[in-house]
Structures are given as structure tokens and as C-alpha cells.
Amino acid sequence: MSWLTEFVRPKIQKLVRRTDVPENLWHKCKSCEQMIFHRDLAKNNHVCQHCGHHMRISAKERLETLFDGGKYQTIELPNVPVDPLKFRDQKKYTERLKAAQAKATFKDALAVAHGEVGGHPTVIAVFDFSFMGGSMGIAVGEGIVAAAELACVQDAALIVVPASGGARMQEGILSLMQMARTTAAIEKVKEKGLPYFVLLTDPTTGGVSASFAMLGDIQIAEPGAQIGFAGRRVIESTIREKLPDDFQTAEYLLEHGMVDMVVPRSELNATFGRLIDMIRRTKPGAAVVPIKDAKSKSTKSKTPSADK
């Protein structure tokens, strides 16, 4: 019996035992509802290969996509008061922060890094929507200010990539003050003559869209991104009218002159590099060919015949 129980039974159980399949191998597209294998999705920059829907990505993935060769260096953001208002709803604000930080790569909803885009020194500030909806609190405001100061010090272009639901309600009026602080920081970048670009991703709403997110020298949006201030239901109940189906999408804003370009994720690095090069180029991109004077040419051609 020992031979049967200790050797034969384990062998049979190993053959018929159901293996556990990880749940994250397949992802369902929210637009077309097609199932996509995780490796194919990562290879395509988290863009649906069936319908072109641009899915949300983390701040780390965003930085790897935008910088040349995915190479960059992040900076340590200034320390800020953790819970200045001692806020509590169903949970303490400090508990919500700890839970968000346990899942996220960075300490708050913003990451700042520097590197090269198109061969030009560039500073990029990226929001992470998975961190409390990318809400803007004191830490995010300090991060934008730090990014602007770093761009000025390095004489570099500044790119901000918002993905936010707006102000962080747990920080109240202190959160709303970041709208003015970030706007003033961006103004310093512009005063120094440095390029400032904004990449509007899904979603960009609330106090973020009402401040630095709409101040770019050139406004670029990802396809299908939701961009606006108030929500659709709030607007419809206020004006008592039905809004278009594509209202507050990147394509709608492009059609109405609110954004300058809608660029697929795979082309963002090349697009930003080209724009920075056009703005910062101090010399002609090619050799200057002198234009010959037609009058002097005709005069020279007549000279030999006159001598004869």
C-alpha cells in the first residue's frame, strides 16, 4: 500500500491536477471588448491592435515611451506635509496614502525625470492615474514647480503629461492653491524662452485642465482621451441640453481648436523630438545654397559677344 500511496497516487494526481492560470495573461479592450494577450499588448504600447483604443499606462511606462531609448533619470521630489488638514471620511487620509503608495512605483501621483527627446535635453513630469485618480495635491504642485525649475537650470524643454481627475479633495483649499502655483512655475519656463509642451491623456479634467494643462506652447492629445473640466452629466444638467457623443474627446477638441495635434502613442517620441528641434534650432538644418542673380548672369553671357 505504501508504494501505491507514496509513488503511484502522486504521479496520477500530477497528471490530472488542474494548473492555476494567472489572471493577468489576457486583457479585455474597453472599446471593442476584444481579448488581447498581455505580451502583444505590451509590445503595442498598450494600444488595442483591433480598434486602436489607447489604454491607460503607468508613469514608468510613459517615461520609457517618451524618452530616447527609454533612458532617463528621475529626481527626488520635495517633502511636503502628509496630512495638513487631518482629513478623514470613511478612512483617514494617511491610510489612503499608504494604500496608494503600496501599489504605486512613486510616492505620489507625479514623477519627474530628465533625459533626451530627439537628442535634446528634456524634463518630463508625468501623472499616474492609478495613484488616487492622479489627483493634484501639494506633492503634485511641488513636483510641477520642481520640474519647471529643473528645466530652467538645464536649459531644457519641459513636457507635462497630465492624467488626473482634478484637485485632491482631502487637501481642500491647499490643493486648489496648486493651480496658481503651477501656472506661475510654467510662466517662468516661458519667460526663459524654453519650449513647454503638454500631452493630454485619458483623463485630463478638473483643476488640472483649468491650470497648467492648457498652457502649452503646443497642445498634443492621445487618440480618444477624455479632456475637459466638469463632467458630462454636470454640464448637461446645467445647460439642459444633450451633448454630442464625442464631446470632450481629443478628436472633438482638435476639431474645435482646443488642441493642436492628436498623435498616436507610437509616434509621440518622434513628434516631440521634431517639435523641440524646430523650436530650438539655432542653425539651418541644411547647407544654404546661394541664389544666382539672373541679371548678372545675363550680363556675363553677353560680354564675350560684345568683345567680338
Binding residues: 29, 32, 48, 51
59-81 as b/e: b if 16+ CB within 10 A: bbbbbbbbbeeeebebeebeebe
Which residue numbers belong to the known binding site for Zn(2+)?
A: 29, 32, 48, 51
**Hey, is 73 helix, strand or coil?**
strand
DSSP annotation of 168 reads: -
Q: Which amino acid is at 5?
A: T
Beta bridge partners of 37: 26
Give me the phi and psi of 29, to 5 degrees please: -70, 130
Q: What is the DSSP string of 220-269?
A: EE-TT-BB-SS-HHHHHHHHTSPPPTTTTBHHHHHHTTS-SEE--GGGHH
Q: Which positions ≥6 away from 300 have C-beta within 8 Å?
A: none
Number of continuous H segments (helices) and E segments (strands) in the chain: 12, 9
Helix or strand run (H / E) with residue 39: helix 38-43
Q: What are the cell numbers at 264?
A: 498616436
Which among 252, 262, 253, 176 has a CA at the least distance from the CA of 211?
176
